[in-house]
Amino acid sequence: MKKVAILGASGSIGLQAVDVIQHHKEEFELFAFSVYSQVDKAIEIVKELKVKHVCLKDEFDVEKMRKRFPDIIYHFGDEGIFEIVSLAEVDIVINSIVGFAGVLPSIKAIQARKDLALANKETLVVAGEIVTNYVKEYGVKLLPVDSEHSAIFQCLNGEQKSQIKRVIITASGGSFRDKTREELKDVSVEDALKHPNWSMGANITIDSATMFNKGLEVIEARWLFDLDYEQIDVIMHPESVIHSMVEFVDGSVMAQMASPDMRLAIQYALTYPKRLAIASSESLDLLKYKNLTFREVDFNRFPALKLAYQVGKIGGSLPATLNGAKEAATALFLKREIEFIDIDGLVEDAIASHTLIKDPNYQDLELADQWAREFVIQKVGEKKHGNIN
């Protein structure tokens, strides 16, 4: 039986991971998990599963929960997260923390010699070289949880890296895939959060609409599969039936297809190389779709994707800058302080203004992330007060 620790258990991926464990109690034990301040969600989880360790935001939340569940061992804050990923009993860590905050927990889990099921894109986007070097040094498995990267991982099972010609990442196009740039000027937060295919958290749904999500996946794929950027293509596939493909040197193309259910990727990361049934999952009914469509991605329509390729190729501290600026701009849009169409421009401005560090350490990446966030907030503040055009 694998003992699992879930970071970010109250989010969309975290709760689906809990569901996978709940339906396969003979295979997995949820040994530890973290939530931020969602104590109610933590209570729901421990009611369903006998968990030995729980990490919460602060001591106040711990005391609130301890009154109801005194037998659990509690942890809190960042140090608490580092403690639970280092528990001797834990076999695998699922990191589903959102954003840059998930990078250091990934590093700590690897250094504790835990296999890492990665749903936190930023771990590889921001610190790909550092993380992949640690994976080799500590001899652990790095297993993708994103549906696109899981698809590529499944297609490569038993194949040789030298035989890969390219990987093809599919993109639904998000909430506004059929709108022109001109039509994006007055879209609302509510409209942006209506993803046509997937049920996800707010931040990743906005990232899907801007296509920053797909750009981060390109950078992530470069590190996960040790590829050149010229070997990574993105195509639009509105139906989201094919999650990604691999083309081999002989021209053969292997695709992974399934109904849009994130539990498949989560579960495969936990069971690899074995497969298990997924409770209440829908079999893929190709007759329902009748047609699967594909089209080229227009970089002028989706400048975020073009920017991600450029930043990824340069590397250094630029990916951390891109991600920090993107997270800050997205947060401002969700607060209705900027327009949707402003997100791309703010990130581009941050990239243009950043002083590149070619070979950054983790502290350099932290500083680049913080600088980018402050840059975006300051830029928006200046614009509001009429100090810039």
Secondary structure (DSSP) of 334-346: HTTSS-TTHHHHH
Does 164 lie in the same domain as 116? no
Residue 149 lies in a domain: no
Nearest CA-CA partner of 33 in 49, 24, 25: 49
8 φ/ψ sector (left φ>0, alpha ψ -120 to 50, else beta): left
Same domain? For 365 and 386 the reply is yes
The answer as to whether 268 is a domain residue is: no
The number of CA neighbours under 13 Å toward the Cβ of 307 is: 26
Here the contacts of 376-382 (C-beta below 8 Å, separation 24 or greater) are 376/325, 376/328, 376/329, 376/332, 376/346, 376/347, 376/350, 377/328, 377/332, 379/346, 379/349, 379/350, 380/332, 380/337, 380/338, 380/342, 380/346
Q: For residue 265, is it within any domain?
A: no
Residue with tokens 């997924």: 278
What confidence score (pLDDT) does residue 333 get?
A: 92
The predicted structure's pLDDT at residue 323: 95
My answer on whether 195 and 285 are in the same domain is: yes
pLDDT of residue 181: 79
pLDDT of 288 reads 87
Which stretches within the chain are classed as H helix? 12-22, 39-48, 59-66, 77-85, 103-111, 122-138, 147-155, 189-192, 202-210, 212-224, 262-271, 286-289, 303-314, 318-334, 342-353, 362-384
Is 263 domain-assigned? no
Give pLDDT, residue 389.
47
Of 110, 73, 81, the closest CA to residue 14 belongs to: 81
| Residue 368 identity (one-letter amino acid) | A
Structural domain ending residue among the three candidates 120, 144, 168 = 144
Q: Which of 224, 204, 223 is nearest to 214 (CA)?
A: 204
214 in any annotated domain: yes
Instruction: Classify residue 337: in a domain, yes or no.
Output: yes
Same domain, 362 and 344: yes
Residue 222's pLDDT is 98
**164-171 and 232-236 beta bridge pairing:** parallel
297 and 170 share a domain?
yes
Q: How many domains does the chain have?
A: 3
**Beta bridge partners of residue 221, listed in sequence order:** none
Same structural domain for residues 132 and 216?
Answer: no
Does some domain include residue 266?
no
- Do 236 and 369 belong to one domain? no
Query: 216 and 304: one domain?
Result: yes
CATH number of the domain that 366 lies in? Answer: 1.10.1740.10
Q: Are residues 165 and 292 in the same domain?
A: yes
Cα-based distances in Å from 265 to 184, 222, 243, 275: 32, 19, 10, 11
299 and 326, same domain (yes or no): no
Q: For residues 20 and 267, is the Cβ–Cβ distance under 8 A? A: yes
> Which residue among 144, 168, 193 closes a domain?
144
pLDDT tens digits for the chain (389 residues)? 999 999 999 998 999 999 999 999 999 999 999 998 899 999 999 999 999 999 999 999 999 999 999 999 999 999 999 999 999 999 999 999 988 999 999 999 999 999 999 999 999 999 999 999 999 999 999 999 999 999 999 999 999 999 999 999 999 887 777 787 787 787 878 877 775 555 566 777 888 888 999 999 999 999 999 999 999 999 999 888 999 999 999 999 999 999 888 999 999 999 999 999 998 888 888 888 888 999 999 999 999 999 999 999 999 999 999 999 999 999 999 999 999 999 999 999 999 999 999 999 999 999 999 999 999 999 999 877 665 54
Look at residue 153 and tell me if it is in a domain.
Answer: no
Strands 73-76 and 53-56: parallel
Question: 179-195, pLDDT tens digit by residue?
Answer: 877 877 878 788 777 75
Same domain, 48 and 95: yes
Q: Are residues 163 and 305 in the same domain?
A: yes
CATH code (residue 111): 3.40.50.720
What type of residue is 385?
H
Q: What are the residues whose beta carbons fall under 8 Å from the beta carbon of 110, sequence distance 6 or more?
A: 116, 131, 134, 135, 138, 140, 142
Q: Which domain holds residue 27?
A: 2-144
